[in-house]
Amino acid sequence: MRQEVKDLALRQLAEGGATALSINAVAKELGVSGPALYRYFPSRDALLTELIIDAYRDLTAAIAGAGDFSGLAAAYRAWAVAQPHRYRLLFGAPLPGYDAHDVQLVAAAQGAMAVLLAVAADSPDADGALKVQLEGWQPGVPPGRALAGVSAWTRMHGLVSLEIEGNYASMGIDPDLLFRYEIDRLNSGR
Give the residue, chosen from 95, 105, 118, 121, that forms a contact with its own copies under the rule CB under 8 A: 95
Give the residue, chosen from 14, 39, 110, 176, that forms a contact with DNA under the rule CB under 7 A: 39
Give the residue, chosen from 42, 129, 139, 140, that forms a contact with its own copies under the rule CB under 8 A: 129
| CB-nearer residue toward its own copies: 44 or 88 | 88
Which stretch in 27-35, 55-63, 66-74, 157-165 sits in contact with its own copies by CB under 8 A? 157-165
Under the binding rule (CB under 7 A), the answer on residue 136 touching DNA is no
Q: Nearest approach, Cβ of 3 to DNA (angstroms)?
A: 13
Give the residue, chosen from 3, 19, 103, 124, that forms a contact with its own copies under the rule CB under 8 A: 19
| CB-nearer residue toward its own copies: 63 or 159 | 159
Query: What DSSP string runs through the chain?
Result: -HHHHHHHHHHHHHHH-TT---HHHHHHHHTS-GGGGGGT-SSHHHHHHHHHHHHHHHHHHHHHTS-SHHHHHHHHHHHHHH-HHHHHHHHSPPPTT-----HHHHHHHHHHHHHHHHH----TT--HHHHHHHHHHSTTS-HHHHHHHHHHHHHHHHHHHHHHTTTTGGGT--HHHHHHHHHHHHHTT-
Under the binding rule (CB under 8 A), the answer on residue 12 touching its own copies is no
